Amino acid sequence: MMSAISKSAPYHNNSKLVTNDLCRVAACNRAMILFLLDTGVRVGELVTALKEKLDIKAGSVKVIGRDNKERVVYFSPTTAMALWKYSQSHESNFLFGTELGRKLDRNNVTHALPRLCQCAGVPVYSPHAFRHTFAVNYLRNYPNIYALQQMLGLSSLDVVKRYFVISEQDLQPVHMQSSPVEKWNL
């Protein structure tokens, strides 16, 4: 999908040819994909995130989740650079804003991803697939369900259990990392 970002092209909307600033659209798509994958945010959290809540140096942003609860999500330096670059391309108060200063609509996100998938020749991924991928990889790399619950803004551990899908091939490396016999060099 990342390679398909720069292949954006003009398209027809209501019989009108739409030609966006392709560099800005590519920067938006790159930042959006990295942000979704790196944070596990919901689409609603992505489109309502504000620039003023962004801390590039700390690699964090405050988002408003379900039930109007604010939480901090963290992201990598690669995502920080993409967010910074994209945020310079528009005057909106929203982190993901349009040239006219409005926030992106949820539909902008849910329609952009399938177009990118099609262009890249990969299966179609929904925004929630990015959340799921974030959660599963988070647990593989840092198996702490309580931290994941906080990162995803979930009210119950029951929901976290859905993401706790660790395959058998994941179990062997985890065991090697946690084996008392190996750790104690017996």
- Mark 161-174 as b/e (b = at least 16 C-beta within 10 Å): eebeeeeeeeeeee
pLDDT digits (tens, 9 = 90+) for 63-82: 999 889 999 999 999 999 99
Nearest alpha-carbon partner for 2 in 132, 125, 182: 125
Q: What does the angle CA 32 – CA 154 – CA 51 come to, to the nearest 5 degrees?
A: 35
Which fold does the domain 5-125 belong to in CATH?
Answer: hpI Integrase; Chain A (1.10.443)
Boundaries of every domain in the chain: 5-125, 130-183
User: Does the reported pTM lie above 0.85?
Assistant: no
**pLDDT exceeds cutoff 90 at 99:** no
Q: What does the angle CA 117 – CA 119 – CA 123 come to, to the nearest 5 degrees?
A: 30
**Residue type, position 143, single letter:** P
Nearest alpha-carbon partner for 66 in 164, 156, 134: 156
Q: Are strands 54-55 and 11-13 parallel, antiparallel or unpaired?
A: unpaired
- Residues 6+ positions from 59 with CB-CB distance below 8 Å: 74, 75, 76, 77, 79, 80
Note the Cα 154 to chain centre separation in Å: 16
pLDDT digits (tens, 9 = 90+) for 19-54: 556 788 889 999 999 999 999 999 999 999 999 999
